[in-house]
Structure 1
Amino acid sequence: MSRRHPGRGRLTVAALLTALLALPAALLAGSPAHAADYRYWSFWQRGEGGAWVYATQGPSIARPDDGDVEGFRFAVSANSGSAEKPRGAADFDTICADTPARDGQKRVALVIDFGTRDDAPGGEQPPKRRTACARVASDGTSAEALAAVAGQLRYNSSALLCAISGYPKQGCGEQVSGKKSDDAGSARQDGDDGGPSVGLLAGIAAIVALGAAAVWQARRRRG
């Protein structure tokens, strides 16, 4: 006749209840967070092969070479990986065709893309995209090149570029609700009302069922 272990049933139930308490946190931790979107001017540099590359330095630090092409794009995005690139052609020889070289100076071709109406702050209309050839001192920065061809630049106290040619009139890198396309393309992990997800509820139900079965088995053994 086998010996019974009355504590074994209680241990199993306790372990399952511990798993029950840990499950919501584990499932919620596995749910991807929705990145916040921001409305701002992004800074780009033309790389090898003519592709736009998100600048690793701010325009006040970057020092382009003579013949470089740089771009600025106003848009709503979450980070550099999702940022919108400047649109249209960006060829140095075309943009700077009417700007001759000079000793002690350098020429930088700039593309200034004010973005779309969808990205514009409420009540504002984005100006048309434009290009310009800036001629600055040989040690000049990208910010100086921009200032040479685009008036009404606005920066905040952290030296973040807020406006080019007065656009936008207000705001600087503010968080926004995000693009409709981003919302439509993302599968939500929770309900529209902010309630728990279906996966979370199903997982809890499964643990509860296992716990109930363990309690029943423990009582059966004691009986």
Structure 2
Amino acid sequence: MLVTLLAVSAALLGSGSAQAAGYRYWSFWESSGTDWAYATQGPSIVRPDDGTVQGFRFAVSEDSSDADRPRHAPDFGAICADTPAKGGTKRVALVIDPGTPEDAPDGERPPALRTACAQVAPDASSAEALASVAKPLRYDSSAMICAISGYPKTGCGEQVSGDGDGGTTDSSEKPSAPADDDEGGSSGGGPSAGLVVGIAAVLLLGAAAVFQARRRR
């Protein structure tokens, strides 16, 4: 009896994680030296200093904790080597990574990863730096980047089903910022973590009661 109840609990816990869903979107990154750090503000707000390296990566992820980083090192010297400094401007190195075919929307193929050195006004935002080298850009009503250089052609932060087929769901929810949506991973078709834990606790208590009753016989 106890083994059966434990097996049911494990199955329920497993089904919750298997049904986890993610979102397909462009995430925004900033250099942390030799690596990438997930940006805490959107590109329309950040005003990078001269010599900054920033990245954009298109992929499917549940939230910022498991988002895929740009697949190119944040190397300002290499990216802006052919763009000399100019008075009255700043240089911002950009890594634009459209991701892999597995993360692409149906019927689309990602363009190649590329780097660019944006030379813009000293007070320009990251979004303005990006627009200077990667038009056309597409945004939604909440200022979330939907497309860079026209990729992808459609969609914007849509939820992707967690059953492994890469299809999208009909949910209208999406990350409200470049990915920092902690609720995204729990909105799939499986039971919530709280519900599963509650069921597991009830089953374990029931198993303990059965065990105690048998001991008294």
Q: Normalised by the size of structure 1, how large is the TM-score? A: 0.69
Whether the aligned pair in 2 keeps the contact of 1:76 and 1:178 (CA below 8 Å) is no
**Aligned counterparts, 1:34-113, within 5 A:** 34=17, 35-48=20-33, 50-113=34-97
**Letter paired with 1:102:** K
Change (3 A) 1:103 1:163: same
String of CA shifts for 1:2-40, please: whole Å, max 9, x gaps: xxxxxxxxxxxxxxxxxxxxxxxxx79x95854531000
Shifted more, 201-210 versus 113-122: the winner is 201-210
Report the equivalent of 1:116. Answer: 100
Report the equivalent of 2:129. Answer: 145
Counterparts of 1:56 and 1:202, CA distance in 2: 41
SS state at 2:44 partner: coil
Q: Which runs of 5+ in 2 are unaligned?
A: 1-8, 165-189
User: Identity of paired residues, percent?
Assistant: 60
String of CA shifts for 1:29-78, please: whole Å, max 9, x gaps: x9585453100000001113x11000011000001110111000000001
Report the equivalent of 1:4. Answer: none
Bigger relative contact order, structure 1 or 2 (CA pairs below 8 A, ≥6 apart): 2
The higher radius of gyration belongs to 1
**Letter paired with 2:204:** G
Counterparts of 2:61 and 2:203, CA distance in 1: 34
> Number of paired residues?
176
Counterparts of 2:93 and 2:118, CA distance in 1: 6
String of CA shifts for 1:83-132, please: whole Å, max 9, x gaps: 00000233111111111211111000000000000000001000000000
* Higher-helix-fraction structure: 1
Q: Normalised by the size of structure 2, how large is the TM-score? A: 0.71
Structure 1 residue 168 corresponds to structure 2 residue 152: yes
**CA drift at 1:179:** 7.9
**Aligned counterparts, 1:181-196, within 5 A:** none
SS state at 2:132 partner: helix
Change (3 A) 1:179 1:64: farther
Counterparts of 2:97 and 2:130, CA distance in 1: 13
String of CA shifts for 1:180-206, please: whole Å, max 9, x gaps: 5xxxxxxxx98xxxx9xx967853652
2:109 to 125, 130, 135: 125
Q: Which runs of 5+ in 1 are unaligned?
A: 1-26, 181-188
Counterparts of 1:31 and 1:53, CA distance in 2: 31
Cα RMSD (Å): 3.4
String of CA shifts for 1:119-170, please: whole Å, max 9, x gaps: 0000100000000000111011000000000011000011100000111111
